[in-house]
Amino acid sequence: MPVRGRAVLEGIRFAKDVASAPSAVVALWKTATGGKAVGCLPATPVPELLHAAVLLPIALESPEDLSLLTGRIDAWLIGPEPSSFTVPPEGIPRFAFPRLAPGSVEEALDRVEALAEWACVVSDFPVSEGGLWKSLRAYATRRSLIEALEGRCVREPAFLTPDERRDLVRAGIFLPPEAHSRLLASVLDIDYQPVIESEGERGDPLIVLAKRLL
């Protein structure tokens, strides 16, 4: 195992704590931002829509994750038939997002617009064009850092144990993308550099997200 600095070891420990007991960090985010947490069954292909409305999308991996977040979920984004989950009980907001690919850009745009409207109602925060571009950049930054982590693990197999690598990736389920990116950058021991421009930043960001569904 290579010698690892203090920041790297602290980042690994933090990731392990988040991955194993995420309730506290989700509660802290809600208190700090005034936002709400959305349980996603399955993971949403457009988390930027929720993030732009000050919602924290949490893509639950297994039914056991539910027990780690008791009382923290404020709304649900579900598919028509969640395969390994029991559909959450009525009483808090929910949105059913179709799994089948839309047949056209227009149909895809209708879906993301409906989700954006629902997110605004749940959060009481508007989804602005600027907020969406900011969210697109935040998620693009995180994707680039996850790719950098995976690449380093391939080049240096001893850099992280399999459990450490899994915890670092899994922590991103419960952290907003900006916080997860800073965590990944600290473990990689590189400067945190947010993506300056995401997917062109031309035209309507809702159309960018709609095309992702095709």
From first to last of its 214 residues, the chain has per-residue pLDDT tens of 667 888 889 999 999 999 999 999 999 999 999 999 999 988 899 999 999 999 999 999 888 888 899 889 999 998 866 556 776 777 899 999 888 899 999 999 999 999 999 999 999 999 999 999 999 999 999 999 999 999 999 999 999 999 999 999 999 999 999 999 999 999 999 988 887 665 555 678 999 999 999 9
Indicate the number of domains in the chain. Answer: 1
The label of the residue with tokens 């930054």 reads 141
pTM of the model: 0.92
Residue 201's pLDDT is 58
Q: Is residue 178 part of a domain?
A: yes
Q: Is residue 1 part of a domain?
A: no
Residue 81's pLDDT is 62
Distance CA 93, CA 74 (A): 7
Q: The domain containing residue 78 runs over which residues? A: 6-212
Residue 4's pLDDT is 81
Estimate the crossing angle of helix 129-155 against helix 205-212, to 10 degrees.
Answer: 50
Q: Is residue 207 part of a domain?
A: yes
Q: How far is CA 35 from the centre of its chain?
A: 14
Residue 70's pLDDT is 87
